[in-house]
Every structure is written in C-alpha cells, then in structure tokens.
Amino acid sequence: MSGGSHDSSLHDDLVAAIPNMRAFAISLCGNRDHADDLVQEALVKAWNHLDSFEEGTNLKAWLFTILRNAYFSELRKTKREVADSDGQLASRLSVPAEQQGHLDLLDLNNALGKLPVDQREALILVGAEGFSYEDAAAISGCAVGTVKSRVNRARARLNELMTAPPDGGPGAGEDKAAPGAGQPGRRRAAGAI
C-alpha cells in the first residue's frame, strides 16, 4: 500500500479494530494477557502483510482471520505441553462481586468457556461481533451451514448452562417452586447472545 491518506486511513481502521480483536481473542483463549499477546501478534502480521489486503474488502474479517489463525497455530504448537496453572487458583478464590450484573457476566463467561471452541468462536463472531454468517464462515474457514449449525448448538447449550440450577451451592434447595428465582440476569445474559 502506498499513499499517505490510504496509509493513515488504514492505520486508523487497524487501531479501531483492536477492542473487537481483543474481545474475540479473550473468547478464544480465556486469558486477558494471552489475548493481548495474540492481538499484538495478529496486528504485527497484518502490518507486515498489508500489501496482501485487498482494498474494498472487509478489513475486520481479514484481521479476525489472522488472529484466529495465530491462535490455532499456537494451540497446535502447545498441544503436547502441560498447561501452566499460574493464576487459576487465584481466579477461583476471588471475593464475590456485589453487583448482580458482574456476577451474570462471570456466569456467562464461565458458560462460554464450557462450549467447544468451534461453537464458542461461531457464537462470538455472529452474536457478539455482529459478523454475517458468510463473513464468520470465511473467518473460520468453513461452510456457512456449518457456522449456522455451530451458532445454533452453542446458543442451545449456553441456554442450558445459564438456566441450570446451581450444583448444591448455598441456597440450592431454596424456593423450589420458582426455578431460577433470584437469578433473573441469567436468562437475560444467555438470551443476549
């Protein structure tokens, strides 16, 4: 790419895409620090290969494809390694939040983490990032029907996970007449995606 105004505009578009790339990376790997590294790697790759980007095409989809490929390449490399559990125990020992919305978000993130990677990816691309099924299929490298199926299965499973009663936790036996009582945000959060 050449031309000052094109470079400036493309630079602005790259910067504008960072928050969405970061959210997508977090949904893939589940770790903010790791997600930041993935986004940085994807941006460096994109910057170094700007000449392969076709003007007039979807820059965000191109960036998400690079990010996704970087994640799965790294995943294949580390498949045989033992996962580093630093920070895992600490995240479970946190003090419960006082605001229901924060708890609902934690429940949603936990439920998303239980979905298979392909379903979570499709759901985030279509439901949270707003990509069309066609763009999500191009990013994921699969057929449109496959993306639709993955989104459908992910939504159904997410709904199951978000509406299931807590497993023997405090208050598990309370208010049996009204399942989900005291958890109005759970259904709302599951239906949001």
Task: Answer whether 112's CB lies under 8 Å from 182's CB.
Answer: no
Angstrom distance (rounded) from CA 159 to CA 148: 16
Instruction: List the structure tokens of 93.
Output: 């020992």
Question: How far apart are the two ends of the chain, measured CA to CA in Å?
Answer: 37
Q: Check residue 56 and give left, alpha or beta (phi > 0: left; psi -120 to 50: alpha).
A: left
Neighbouring CB atoms inside 10 A of 136's CB total 27
CA 178 to mean position of chain CA atoms: 32
Angstrom distance (rounded) from CA 162 to CA 98: 19
Residue 95's pLDDT is: 57
How do residues 125-162 score in pLDDT, each as one tens digit? 998 888 999 999 999 999 999 999 999 999 999 999 88
Domains and CATH numbers, the chain: 4-77 (1.10.1740.10), 99-166+185-192 (1.10.10.10)
Write down the residue that tokens 């996962």 correspond to. Answer: 83
Q: Is residue 111 classed as helix, strand or coil in its secondary structure? A: helix
Angstrom distance (rounded) from CA 193 to CA 178: 24
Task: Answer whether 14's CB lies under 8 Å from 43's CB.
Answer: yes
Model confidence band, residue 111 (pLDDT cutoffs 50, 70, 90): confident
Write down the residue that tokens 């405090």 correspond to. Answer: 170
Angstrom distance (rounded) from CA 21 to CA 64: 7
How do residues 13-46 score in pLDDT, each as one tens digit? 888 999 999 999 998 888 899 999 999 999 999 9
Angstrom distance (rounded) from CA 172 to CA 19: 38
How do residues 54-107 score in pLDDT, each as one tens digit? 888 888 999 999 999 999 888 888 776 545 556 665 555 555 546 777 777 788
Instruction: List the structure tokens of 168.
Output: 């023997």
At position 3, the amino acid (one-letter code) is G
Write down the residue that tokens 């109005």 correspond to. Answer: 184
Model confidence band, residue 174 (pLDDT cutoffs 50, 70, 90): very low
Residue 87's pLDDT is: 63
